[in-house]
Amino acid sequence: MAARAQHVYRDLLRTVRKHTKGDHFSDYICQKFRDSAASKDTDALQKNIMLAKDYAYLVRSVHAHKDLLVSYNIGVDREVEQSARLKDTANRVGLSMPKLFEEDQSK
């Protein structure tokens, strides 16, 4: 049971740190798991593990849904979206996109 709880705990923390800003969520999760570990009630521990798994799944799903909405949005400038995709692809293979020289539009 303890190994399963640790796996869920690490997965939840990893997900929250990746998809949210700020440490207050991580601090709250740490405190809840410490409180659950101190408790001897196995039913409550099982419920907390299931709740943590569901929350991690929810955070990942909301993030994926947000990415899909942005990628399918017709109102988004395709050139900006394409440059962002190229930048992400370059970063994935360890490269960076060059900075392009742009003239000041006010002249």
Whether residue 51 has pLDDT greater than 60: yes
**pTM above threshold 0.75:** no
pLDDT of residue 34: 81
Q: For the chain, give the percent of residues with pLDDT over 70.
A: 87
Residue 78: partners with Cβ closer than 8 Å, 6 or more residues away: none
What is the C-alpha separation between 64 and 52, in angstroms, rounded? 18
The pLDDT tens digits of the residues spanning 72-88 come to 775 566 777 788 888 88
pLDDT of residue 31: 83
